[in-house]
Structure 1
């Protein structure tokens, strides 16, 4: 495969890219690395240089990325959908990486609930998500008053708050603190966003779309594996008919006309069932290997 990190048409545009610092950082940097994009960090570690031309890059907290995209000091960046919803900003979602999936939930000690809902009357909610929480309270007709937290929200009940609204991936931290989930406000993941006006600039848009292409190529490749199979001539059409390839499988003749080698990129999650079907159709010598990138 050709080097997909090569920039398309030459352009004088500089795109200001924001990468997340903290919990999301490792997954996003690995995603870029798998796309062939190398990062060289400065002494302080906040302004890495990309091997992909056309970008000026800075590491920021995800909440700040959302704000900087909103005001236009950053053109494109990675952030959680929860903070875009919390900040109530209008950004263009370029793609959902599916990474760092979390739920924004309401949680409390079981004694606070009546029939699965907060008991009637005024109560206190501790959260980092003030706007999301207020919208939820209004939507549900609940008399909650919001107290802003700055991390470790799960420790507030029962002495300092009746319940919390917080993010969770597995619920383990909430459970460890004696809390039970009683409501789900939102589902979130790491996504790539752009400032709307940045996409109105043709030169910047070209650079941004090339980055999206590279990142999507890795995400698409992670969902598939390459399968290579040997098959006798009489079983070729049957085998090709069951392969869920992207377009058409690659078919090559084996030595001395003994059969064919068939190669196809197939969905990873269907592989266990597919292997049984391949064997039943007459396929042999099955080889499965990972794919680095898929570029349409």
Structure 2
């Protein structure tokens, strides 16, 4: 289908923005059937407006989809729009209109009593964030002499004060974690955006007319340019050797599997249960500290030396090592739980038996056709495309709603599945298995010395022995 023949495509957010965006769309006469009601489908027609298709994405994916030209128009939070535009200032995203929808404010936060000037003058400042481009913009204008950014998947607010001095995260998340707000980084906001080329070459009036009637915000939000701190670089300090043994355990889907694995090994951390947890569960040993965090961020945290042992997933370890092959983190033992297959997923309507036949079909009419590979595991997607010799390809990093990408927005999805039920429900199938993932114990490639090294060996031995009985 040529660009001029295809429908006008509009990307809208799921999650917290879904209800306020849906309400305003209905009020503007742009009712996407089922969107406001929370339908689990990804694509919607618009009542009374032909030639327009609406698609639901995770908020942070929308600016990328519009920039790529896969969607003509989008509604997204100002934070994720600016995260793209700070780095690619002349990209193909055109902000059209700030909407009267409250978006999350980003703040810089630290431990209660922390002070930006004192931290900046004391040496290297470690900053955890999901927004590395916005963080870099803010910190350079703040004139922080020396800083290190930790780009995390989520929950940046969980890193201070032990694993970072500062976090740049949403104000609500920072407040929940009990951190002190030290400054405002981005004033939030929600915007209507367009693809530059589509705006110039396509008739978008069927969608653009009602969307431009959405109420405009009275303030535009956006990036904050802070006053420089006026501090000079402090003398580098060598951090004292850590004495306490630190363990990271996962939240989310992996939590119940981890609790079971620990229980089988005779290990319990009060405050870390199958269905609930606190940030720092009890270990029962004053020399052992336990922290709950996202499994995606554990390989990085272990490689940085923040933890002696962590329970993550083989998929996240492999994805991290695909990005940083020399990183000093390795698998110590397989817990054999939370099993699922990771592989290349395509439309079940494609009449092929293997990935080679799929490539040939996609390139039947155009040998230079760029194959789009979407995944939350962007580094694994890139590795797969290279090792399977896809030729011209484009990796599309995504952050959720993955089953909706194939076949309209990507040819291949690199995804994991336990039973295949969700794939079948979305008319998808796995055509090429990359790996079997389980949860596993990971650690630094060099074992710590002394008591920490002894504890690591003891924990690993107990967990490995317990895993032997797992079928």
State whether TM-score is above 0.5. yes
Separation in 1, partners of 2:428, 2:293: 31
Which residue of the partner structure matches residue 30 of structure 1?
260
Separation in 2, partners of 1:189, 1:168: 12
Which residue of the partner structure matches residue 328 of structure 2?
90
Q: Tell me, yes or no, if the aligned pair for 2:265 and 2:465 is still in contact at 8 Å.
A: yes
Separation in 2, partners of 1:180, 1:173: 10
1:190 equivalenced with 2:439 (yes/no): yes
CA separation of 1:34 and 1:144: change in aligned 2, threshold 3 A: same
Within the candidate set 271, 282, 292, 1:49 is matched to 282
Structure that is richer in strand per residue: 1
Q: Tell me, yes or no, if the aligned pair for 1:96 and 1:191 is still in contact at 8 Å.
A: yes
State how 1:269-288 maps to structure 2 within 5 Å.
none
Which residue of the partner structure matches residue 307 of structure 2?
74
Which residue of the partner structure matches residue 168 of structure 1?
417
Within the candidate set 428, 433, 438, 1:179 is matched to 428
Which residue of the partner structure matches residue 235 of structure 1?
none
| CA deviation map 1:201-243 (0-9, x unaligned) | 13211011111222223223456xxxxxxxxxxxxxxxxxxxx
Aligned residues: 211
1:212 equivalenced with 2:460 (yes/no): yes
User: Post-superposition shift, 1:20?
Assistant: 0.8
CA separation of 1:77 and 1:44: change in aligned 2, threshold 3 A: closer
Q: Tell me, yes or no, if the aligned pair for 2:308 and 2:448 is still in contact at 8 Å.
A: no
Within the candidate set 125, 129, 147, 2:396 is matched to 147
| CA deviation map 1:74-94 (0-9, x unaligned) | 111011111111111432321
1:101 equivalenced with 2:334 (yes/no): no
Tell me which of the two structures has the higher relative contact order, counting C-alpha pairs closer than 8 angstroms and 6 or more residues apart. 1
User: Post-superposition shift, 1:104?
Assistant: 1.1
CA separation of 1:222 and 1:122: change in aligned 2, threshold 3 A: closer
| CA deviation map 1:137-160 (0-9, x unaligned) | 111111321111112211112222
User: Post-superposition shift, 1:112?
Assistant: 4.3
Q: Which runs of 5+ in 2 are unaligned?
A: 1-241, 322-326, 364-368
| CA deviation map 1:29-88 (0-9, x unaligned) | 122223332222299711101135531110111111111011111111011111111111
Separation in 2, partners of 1:186, 1:90: 22
CA separation of 1:49 and 1:145: change in aligned 2, threshold 3 A: same
User: Post-superposition shift, 1:102?
Assistant: 1.5
Q: Tell me, yes or no, if the aligned pair for 1:37 and 1:50 is still in contact at 8 Å.
A: no
Separation in 2, partners of 1:222, 1:129: 27
CA separation of 1:106 and 1:15: change in aligned 2, threshold 3 A: same
Q: Which runs of 5+ in 1 are unaligned?
A: 1-11, 224-296
